[in-house]
């Protein structure tokens, strides 16, 4: 995995989407400052001196939603933090978001060419919304965390699906909790094999593939 550093980019994901042909499988783009960063549901993710990093995976079949969440989870855990994974790809510490992940795929004539896994991790807590940052809990440099994250990702690429699923479920914030989804309350009863969240209330069981559930 080669690291390519930029002082400033609008978005590490957008940059890779536009330039993936110039890079090799498993190259990594890192920006010190991100000025037009993107999150899920068209949210913004701008940052300075936090971690904004995108991994390029060409012609692959890895389970990035699970691997990327666990890579951040295990990185933070080994720094002494107590993280939890909020389905699908958010990482929380002390009930506040510390990391978000945006996974995008590129298709050419209906064939998947590559996946871009963009990870944002706060070093500092954001002033704009309630979040947490690594520096509140651990005295570490950004470069140290980046290397730890990359090595953890690499290690997880060779783990079995069963290990990854169990780790994800065992460290999930939502399982067993009551959540709100489209103005109704549900109990979260599990995560399916195809990565849907399973919700139950007196009207029955629902599986949701990509949406937001609120605690
Ligand atoms: C979310 O929580 O909605 C996902 C946020 C993902 C942010 C990262 S930062 C690196 C990469 N580049 C982007 O523009 N977005 C992702």
- pLDDT truncated to tens, each residue of the chain (215 aa)? 899 999 999 999 999 999 999 999 999 999 999 999 999 998 999 899 999 999 999 999 999 999 999 999 999 999 999 999 999 999 999 999 999 999 999 999 999 999 999 999 999 987 657 899 999 999 999 999 999 999 999 999 999 999 999 999 999 999 999 999 988 999 999 999 999 999 999 999 999 987 778 87
Structure tokens, 118: 């963009």
Pairwise CA distance, residues 169 & 148, whole Å = 22
CB distance 28 to 3 below 8 Å: yes
Query: What DSSP string describes 7-64?
Result: EEES-HHHHHHHHGGGS-TT-EEEEEEESS-B-GGG-B--EEEEEEEEEEEES----H
Pairwise CA distance, residues 212 & 209, whole Å = 10
Tell whether ligand 1 has an atom less than 6 A from the beta carbon of residue 43. Answer: yes
Residue count of the chain, please give it: 215
Question: Which residue's structure tokens are 């009207």?
Answer: 203
CA distances (Å), 21 to each of 31, 36, 56, in order? Answer: 19, 22, 10
* Residue 131: DSSP 8-state: B
As a whole number of Å, the CA-based R_g of the chain is: 17
pLDDT (0 to 100) of residue 211: 73
pLDDT (0 to 100) of residue 213: 81
pLDDT (0 to 100) of residue 214: 83
Residue 73: other Cβ atoms inside 10 A = 23
* Residue 126: DSSP 8-state: -
Tell whether ligand 1 has an atom less than 6 A from the beta carbon of residue 102. Answer: yes
pLDDT (0 to 100) of residue 73: 98
CA of 200 to the centre of ligand 1 (A): 30
Tell whether ligand 1 has an atom less than 6 A from the beta carbon of residue 122. Answer: no
* Ligand 1 mutation pick, 20, 29, 37, 97, max ligand atoms within 8 A of CB: 37
* Residue 212: DSSP 8-state: -
CA distances (Å), 11 to each of 30, 89, 100, 206, in order? Answer: 10, 18, 14, 35
pLDDT (0 to 100) of residue 126: 75
Closest CA to 14 of 56, 67, 62, 65: 56
């Amino acid at each position: 995995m080669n690291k390519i550093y930029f002082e400033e980019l609008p978005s590490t994901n957008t940059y890779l989407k536009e330039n993936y042909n110039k890079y090799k499988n498993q190259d990594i783009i890192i920006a010190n400052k991100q000025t037009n960063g993107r999150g899920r549901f068209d949210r913004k993710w701008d940052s300075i001196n936090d971690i904004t990093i995108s991994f390029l995976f060409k012609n692959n079949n890895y389970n990035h939603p699970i691997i990327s969440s666990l890579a951040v989870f295990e990185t933070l855990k080994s720094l002494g933090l107590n993280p939890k994974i909020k389905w699908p790809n958010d990482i929380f510490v002390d009930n506040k978001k510390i990391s978000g992940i945006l996974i995008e795929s590129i298709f050419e004539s209906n064939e998947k060419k590559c996946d871009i896994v963009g990870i944002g991790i706060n070093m500092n807590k954001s002033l704009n919304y309630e979040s947490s940052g690594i520096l509140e809990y651990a005295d570490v440099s950004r470069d140290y965390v980046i290397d730890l994250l990359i090595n953890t990702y690499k290690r997880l690429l060779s783990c079995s699906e069963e290990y990854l699923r169990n780790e994800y479920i065992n460290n999930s914030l939502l399982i067993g909790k009551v959540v709100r989804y489209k103005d109704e309350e549900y109990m979260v009863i599990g995560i399916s094999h195809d990565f849907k969240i399973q919700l139950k209330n007196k009207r029955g069981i629902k599986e949701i593939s990509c949406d937001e559930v609120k605690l």
